Amino acid sequence: MSNDNIRKELVVSAIENGTVIDHIPAKSVFRVLKMLNLEDTEKQITVGINLDSVKYGKKGIIKVSNKYFESDDVNKIALVAPTASLIVIKDYEVIEKRYVEIPDEINKIVKCVNPNCITNHQLVPTRFKVINKDDLKLQCHYCEKITGKNNIDII
């Protein structure tokens, strides 16, 4: 049998407990890692980028052992990777699979782009109304400045 006929695969071990973030746009994987502070963790992380996806063409995936994400983290993921899904694993079994959703309101996780906004000068937590989920646009509750998806700065 020649080498041309041998299928080559990279097998990535399953995680016993933790979360898999799947269907991340390939260009957003590093941003998701950074905003979730995963580069500072001691937990085992497996990252795949530019993996083939029937639905999206190319995708990314992040597997984090022994980590479950709170709603603020899930909202952060939704802002930069709205196509992502979260798969919760316990004892090597899928316990839950859900797609992230952009909430109607974003609190304490995005910085206002208006340098004069009160949230940039005092200890006032940010608060935004989501005014467009398809072409992500957020409106500050305090100064009413609108932030587009390309200017979102995750705190």
Q: Token pair 């798969």 is at which residue?
A: 87
List the domains of the chain with CATH numbers. 18-99 (3.30.70.140), 105-154 (2.30.30.20)
pLDDT in tens, 1-16: 445 555 656 566 789 9
Mean pLDDT of the 92-119 span: 95
pLDDT in tens, 107-130: 999 999 999 999 999 999 999 999
Alpha-carbon distance values, 16 to 31, 40, 89, 91, 152 (Å) = 25, 21, 7, 5, 34
What is the model's pLDDT at position 40?
86
What is the model's pLDDT at position 150?
87
**pTM, whole model, 2 decimals?**
0.83
Say how many C-beta atoms besides its own lie within 10 A of residue 88's C-beta: 16
φ/ψ of 147, rounded to 5, equals: -110, 125
Report the candidate in 17, 137, 13 with the shortest Cα–Cα distance to residue 65.
17
What is the rounded distance in angstroms from the CA atom of residue 37 to the CA atom of residue 22?
17
